[in-house]
Amino acid sequence: MPKPSTSESLERTTRQLLGGLRLAVLAIAATVLLLPLSFIRHLHVYQPLWPQLLAYGTLLAVVAAESVLIVRHRAWPVIRWAALAAVFGAALLSRAFLPAGATVSAADWIFGALGWTAAILLLGRSLWYLVAFLAIHETCTVVKVLVTGPATSDVLLNLAAGSLGTIGYPLASGMAALALRRVAVAADRASQQAEQARTANAIEAEVHAHRQRRFADLYESAGPLLQALAERTIDLEATDAQHRCAVEAARMRRLFAETDTAADPLVHELTQSADVAGRKGVVVDLETRGIWPEMPVPIRRALTEPIVKAMSTAISEARITVVGTPGVVSVNVVADCAPVDTADGGSAVRVNSLSEDRFTWVEAQWTTTSSPP
């Protein structure tokens, strides 16, 4: 099962944290809209009645839609903006047909309900959207009072007191949502760091196990040789013995180089193996051309193994060239050595060898575009 992306993980965490607040905002909006029954008690005041019915139905539809979305554990789609425009239009329609002097009175039912309905639609968005909407709502209310009157001190004080609840409380819910989103970001970041730590530990354990296997393989090949050297049962003057010693020394050096931190592990390992050949008098020339991607250790080992064999058995000289082209990495060597076995390249690395006179040419090639990462 694929892991969720960072954005999906953050969205899921945010949705989980905002679930309780979203349910609370819905409950308050439904309570403000339905329980006071201010709309029903003042039906005789609204002349004509249809603008108020249309506005009330619009807000009620948003509350009902939010209930369905919460039950289905879904967020508002892009239609939220059309719903927000419809809610604001409903407020303008209701205010336009309110009788003079009814604004901020018991008959002005939309004054208290609009802020919470907007909070339903904007709870998952930036806090500034809700601030702007509430500010426009408050401005329209003040303008309505000043234009239609009566703009007495009692009315203005009533407006200020009512705004503490109708504007302040929805705004507080938006600030709570902002805080929860920040908590979600911090929680998601902590979760990612924990996942990265677990992945790093798993990789480290795998690398350690792989290195242990490599040491075990090296023991199988170098152990008998070292024992023979200790017991002096091997003739160091023999060409075959010198060949075996050189190959095992190069393999050890390469294994140690695999644990080093180097900018280019491939060149680093070849350099270490070349140093072994140089200590027995072989002149090694190493050239690199082009660039190549980071490669897995098994691929790198398959590329260097035949080169190490040729270099370790060279008599006097070896010329190594590493070439990186788009899609292909090639490592080749020309040395005055015996023919090299090319059967160990594996399926990912193709090895070719050609011997003529006293020189042998060996090439190991990896096609990066078709090889597994």
Whole-number pLDDT of residue 61 = 94
Residues of the chain where predicted confidence (pLDDT) is lower than 70: 1-11, 13, 36-37, 149, 203, 207-208, 210-211, 214-215, 217-219, 250-251, 253-263, 343-347, 369-373
As a whole number of angstroms, the distance between CA 231 and CA 234 comes to 8
Count the domains in the chain: 2
Tell me the pTM: 0.52
pLDDT tens readout for residues 242-282: 777 777 776 676 666 555 545 678 888 888 778 777 777 78
pLDDT at 368: 79
Residue 228 lies in a domain: no
Show the CA angle centred on residue 125, arms to residues 4 and 118, nearest 5°.
Answer: 140
Q: Do residues 102 and 247 share a domain? A: no
Question: What secondary structure letter does DSSP report for 114?
Answer: H
335's tokens: 């040395």
Torsion angle, alpha carbons of 188, 191, 192, 196, to 10: 170
Instruction: Clarify whether residues 273 and 137 are in a common domain.
Output: no
pLDDT score recorded for residue 83: 94
Are 307 and 334 in contact, with CB atoms under 8 Å apart?
A: no
110 & 249 share domain = no
Q: 254 and 159: one domain? A: no
* Domain assignment present for 110: yes
Q: What does DSSP assign to residue 107?
A: T
> How many CB atoms sit inside 10 A of residue 189's CB?
13
Residue with tokens 């644990």: 259
Compute the Cα dihedral for 255, 256, 261, 265 and give only its sign.
negative
**Between the CA atoms of 48, 53, 56 and 62, what dihedral angle is there, to the nearest 10 degrees?**
-140
Q: How far apart are CA 139 and CA 95, in angstroms?
A: 13
The counts of H helices and E strands in the chain are 11, 5
Q: Output the furthest CA–CA distance in the chain (Å, rounded).
A: 119
Task: Please report whether residue 209 resides in a domain.
Answer: no
Range of the domain at 303: 235-367
Same domain membership, residue 181 and residue 277: no
